[in-house]
Amino acid sequence: MSVQAVTARDVLGRLAEFDTVIDARSPAEYAEDHLPGAENWPVLDDDERREVGTEYKQVSAFDAKKRGAALVARRIAEHLEQRVLDRPREWRPLVYCWRGGKRSGTLAWFLDQIGFRTHVIDGGYKAFRAAVVEALQALPGRFDYVVICGRTGSGKTRLLQALADEGAQVLDLEALACHRGSVLGALPGRPQPTQKAYDTAVWHALSRFDPARPVFVESESKKVGNLRVPEALIERMREHGRCVALEVPDAARVRLLLEDYRHLTEDPEALCRQLDALVELRGRDVVGAWHAQARAGRFAELFLDLMQRHYDPIYTRSMERNFRGLAHAEVLRLPDADPDALRAAARSLLARDALPTTAG
């Protein structure tokens, strides 16, 4: 038996064949991005990798290799004891590191010597990243998109969730980005992923969809927070997406915003700091008035004013400029954005597309 190499392109369609995907890189490398579902089995931790790399460049490559070999052997022994002893003979691992070199090769060699059918990614994570970037240029064009449009607070994200519950194919770009997409959209305690990790998540979501069925998505900007939506995807959505315009009364929109942004209403000063980002667009007097509303606890009044004076005009201009299908959009008017109304709306949309639902 010998370790088998698999190309990064092949990996994109074969991940399900492997019982465990093992990332042999350091924790910091793994945190930046990794293959979907991969487990981190670092053969060098962050400090060790930095120290060995410094010795390699500044002292001696030979001495660095000796030091690195001792560290790697010790760490692999720990992984074997802690993670491998209970694995059955049929277990099939896929191992990778940065470029498919010594770190993954050494770990894979040990697993192969035990008798496991072990594979490594030829070119490692670097080749996988290149394959994902390439795939994101073509993959979005395989699908037809139903774009849920609607002003801030209309319940677009909740409608997507209701659609997913009913069995629809849903691409929730904001959930993948850990951001609601507006100047106030940062999620408390949940930092955004890196751009590389976001690209991987978008690719992975798309790769599991059936091209014969529509993909429901929200009418996003080119960026969600600090992250860029893949260019081919946003172009496909804007040029060829079928738009559905979700409309709910302003009072319902305010109620939804009060729920979604409760963390900001509990910390008015944090809300004021975020509103400062709008000074350039709206002026100090307007933003100062919003500060006063926040500090006085008049959040319903504040959110209504934000909607009418800031978000709605910007959204309308952006949609009219960017989404070709908006002129022919189906209008979906709801009395509220409560779960029952959204569930009914989701079932109605799916029925029109003749899609099966999972509802009982």
Note whether 35 and 10 are within 8 A (CB).
Answer: no
Q: Which amino acid is at 153?
A: G
Please list, residue by residue across 9-24, b when 16 or more beta carbons sit within 10 angstroms of its beta carbon and e when fewer do: eebbeebeebebbbbb
Q: Contact at 8 Å (CB) between 192 and 227?
A: yes
Dihedral sign (CA 199, 257, 267, 292): positive
Q: Which of 97, 149, 178, 243 is catalytic?
A: 97
Residue with tokens 């849903």: 170
Residues in the chain: 360
Residue 146 · residue 214 · CB < 8 Å: yes
CB 148 within 8 A of CB 189: no
Contact by Cβ (8 Å): 325, 148: no
Residue 5 CA from chain centroid, whole number: 28
Clarify whether 97 is annotated catalytic: yes
Q: Which residues pair with 39 in a beta bridge?
A: 22
- Supply the residues annotated as catalytic: 97
